[in-house]
Chains A and B, each alone.
Chain A
Amino acid sequence: MKGLAFDVRGSIGHFRRPDTTATQMTYPFITPTAAKGLVGAILGVEDFVTADQVGIELLRPVRTVAQQMSMLGKGTGAAFNRPTTIELLVNPAYRIYYTGEEYTEQLATALAEERSVYTTYLGAAYALTKPVLHRIYPEVVRAAAAEQEIESKSVVPTALIREISLKTDRYYCRAGGYLRHYKGGRTFEKSVDFLYEKDGKSITFIPRADASPELMLAKFGEEFICLI
């Protein structure tokens, strides 16, 4: 199975947590559904549903700031402006690993040609970004489910972890409640929780042998990447 990795960077980003209403909070890093949505934007597929999988590596430390913005009001009636607190990601940068049988080839071509059908952004239209191809991986293999310590550069679903090997120079964080699958028609299913290192450093852990098959550990070159 072929795979690729591309980078997205920006000065701000905002991946709206669907479980905040009046105050708009962001997930600490790009969601798997948004990462796939980016691919849909590049390829020009409006309602992008795919069984392909993505992995996410943090290229910059996670930083957020709460900012008050004047936004159009609540409800669909007569709109009015009101101050709304929005949490923004500061200087986000991610490496998105992508693999699967459906769109990998097309995506590789589009990225190599620096071509995107729709505008690409980091969660909100005011946070534009340009995806840049990092590398093509001719062969991505699923890692064997041997329960031995591995080191992963990507964020790690907590359901994949049997045991973390805590290191003193790491700052481990948890981010819960990411929506897992996009089913089309603005419908989502299931959730996934992640463990990540605040500065984007790798995480060493022993994977679970009985993890859900939807969560895959794969080797991109020499790197272990957790795929959703």
Chain B
Amino acid sequence: MIQLLAESIIRIGRPIKDGGMPCREKIRLLTDVSSENCKNFFRHVFLIELAGGDSCLQQLELGDMALENNKETFTVDSQRNVTFPIFYPNGGNPLHAQGIYPLPCYLLYDPHLKALGEKEQFKKEFLSPRLNNTLQYRDMTLSEKELLADQVAVLLAAQATEFISEDKQLGILMIYDARLNVFQEKQDWMGEDETLMWINESRLQPGRQLYLDGEEVLQCINQAKFYEAAELGSEKNAVSTFSNQPAAEVVSIYNKAWLWLSPTWDMPRSIYWQDDEWTKGIKVDAESYAAYFYGVQFLKEIQVPVASAVLKEMFAPVTSVEAKKNMKATSFESIYGIPLVLPLTDGGSQQLFANYRRMLKKDSEKQSNSDLHLKVLAGIDRVVPEIGDEHRLTILYYSGDLSRGNMHIRAVIEDIVPSVAGKIEQILHDLKVSETGKIQLAFGVAEQAVYKTQTLPALLANAFGPGYVWETLQAALHKEPLRLERLRLTTARRLNELANKEDTWQMVQELIFYYSFLYFLHQYEQKILQKQGGVMILSDWDEFKALYSQGRLDLCHLASVEQLGFTAGLLLRQFHNSYYQKTGKDFVKQRVMKFGSKLTPAMIWKNGLLRCEELAQQWNMKLGANFRPVLAQALLGFLAKQDQLVPEKDSFMTAFWSGYLLYKADKKNDKTEEDGGNDNEQQ
């Protein structure tokens, strides 16, 4: 059971950290430069250049305005944004300095920008707190930092009027301080260098180019995050919980980098620990923490909300068609899904790194048949590249507001064997492309997509009900048996509701879903549980219907309540057709069901089948040759099974309506004896 927890996150992050990912890509992953929340910050980038006592200011705009759907939106220059490594605050007051800044590159909010002209205020409220929390300036004395803040504040105040406007503005302030080793200046244009990232041309020395050293930045980010974690505890020369090796320095893993581990909640901190003694529980070394941070960023990147249409299928009531119809897809709380792939035993692999990189690209299309499409399996739009069975897939669902540390796990489906998931996906694929169409054909309706059978969560939820979604999803993905009772109950209730409304078309839709599910279950039992026999799918009834039309159904064919129900359905429909010819009335509605009542097996037997012969005589009805022999056997069947009719009523009723509605497509069996029994459709 791989939990979405520190140890797993470290195991996910390590191959990403140590793999061959280019440094730009790593910075993009670790920072918020590509975040949708941050795009407007790049509209006002203030680059302050400090070198040898000289200083100057440049204002840049990294991107362009574009018209999208009649709305102007800003598109960030995706090449250059990575040169300004910014971190979007997670909760807290964003106007205040937060955490530790790896280098002097800060987000400017509107109030900050509007205060640029107020030198002292800007210095006190913005610059000093941030410079004090900047890793690169940790070794600088307080007076040196004051001097630096003065220099920057004066420069900004002098030109403030040029760039402050009435509108709401957001920006970035980067202090290019030539003394810091993250910055480099070159005479030449370096082009697409692996590690050096072009900031801009120098204004202090025109013609020379300013660069950011990517490798250095990555080290600074890792270090800054490590020190952030130290706020809740750090120890020198202690054993790391995860490497089990002594380390020069270890820190607490609890912090807001990954809000699952946010210390907002005191639990599980022991009452015997001080506020900064969280290391008594879990302590992590710098290397493991860096891997952890990579893992965290990766998971943030790949988590995805479950589509609202899928949520409706998952959580709308299933025992009432009307109630479901009236539910809006937007009335369900958002649920996010996070897929994880990890090897079963220790160690990572290059293959895993390649897979993670592909997952980061967020392909929504499979590249090979062996890829897993989680949209089908779990309702989350992510493709997991092909993995062997020495790995395990875990899917975690949560809801709530992550930024406030208020998230609630809805389900954790752990240790899914990839090959099992692949087989289930294949079954669903076969159901979608061929089987559903055949079922629709059998019921005489046009072929069309059935949304509720296209994803596993929707299929299971419609069969079992919202209260059983997670349990059955877990059971299916864990190769556990699925039981049919709930499916029959929910189907029987929906059919009964629709029968009272005389909504035959919708009843057929319900039965199409029912037989689609049975096909899924039949294949699941055969291919995954290696179980032979089991449930009857729609095609299994073909022979049964043939025997019926020949009048050769015997008591031995009515061994189960389901078979008895199906036969009763066929009989009543056949009788109804003749009855309608004679009387113009609906037999089931008039004689079998009482208005608005719930049709039961007993009513079908006593108000329906038992009256057939009497009414046939009374109306001089010409019934097909097959009818009476089968009716006789069915009545004997009712006698034999009368004790099972109540406990197994859902099974009986679902089969009854199946037989009743399928008979429509079987128009030849009245022609064998006489012409009077035409199956004219009543409508």
Chain A residues with CB under 8 Å of chain B are: 16-25, 27-28, 62, 64-66, 68, 74-76, 83-85, 87, 158-159, 161, 164, 166, 171-177, 179-180, 185-191, 193, 195-196, 198, 212
Contacts and interface: CB of A to CB of B under 8 A. Distances in A.
Interface of B: 1-3, 5-8, 11, 239, 241-242, 244, 253-254, 259-268, 270, 272-273, 280-282, 342, 344-346, 389, 392, 398, 405-412, 414-415, 417, 470-471, 478-479
Given A25-B5, A187-B280, A188-B280, A18 B392 contact: no
Nearest to A47: B272
Nearest to A192: B244
Contacts, number: 149
Contacts of A76: 266
Nearest to A86: B409
Contact of A172 (B262, B268, B344, B398): B344
B7 A176 contact: yes
Contacts of B5: 17, 19-20, 25, 176-177
B408 A83 contact: yes
Contact of B405 (A21, A25, A161): A21
A23 B409 contact: yes
A174 B272 contact: no
A167 to B, nearest CB: 12
A228 to B, nearest CB: 13
B344 A18 contact: no
A180 B392 CA distance: 24
Contacts of B241: 179, 188-191
Nearest to B2: A174
Contacts of A74: 264-267
18 contacts: A19-B261, A20-B5, A21-B267, A21-B405, A22-B264, A22-B406, A24-B267, A25-B409, A66-B470, A74-B264, A74-B265, A74-B266, A164-B344, A172-B415, A173-B2, A177-B242, A180-B244, A187-B280
Contacts of B346: 158-159, 161, 193
Contact of A21 (B7, B262, B392): B262
Nearest to B262: A21
Contacts of A189: 239, 241
A87 B412 CA distance: 9
Nearest to B392: A174
B293 to A, nearest CB: 15
A23 B272 CA distance: 22
A64 B408 contact: no
A191 B406 CA distance: 27
A186 B272 contact: yes
Contacts of B3: 17, 25, 27, 175-177
A150 B86 CA distance: 53
Contacts of B282: 18-19, 179, 188
Closest 9 pairs between A and B when the two form their complex, measured CB to CB: A177-B7, A176-B7, A186-B270, A28-B1, A85-B408, A173-B415, A19-B6, A74-B265, A187-B280
B409 A171 contact: no
Contacts of A159: 346
B6 A177 contact: yes
Contacts of A27: 3
Contacts of B266: 74-76
B405 A174 contact: no
A157 to B, nearest CB: 10
A176 B267 contact: no
A198 B6 contact: no
A175 B2 contact: yes
A156 to B, nearest CB: 10
A60 B471 CA distance: 18
A185 to B, nearest CB: 6
Contacts of B268: 16, 18, 20-21
B471 A65 contact: yes
Given A17-B3, A18-B281, A171 B412 contact: no
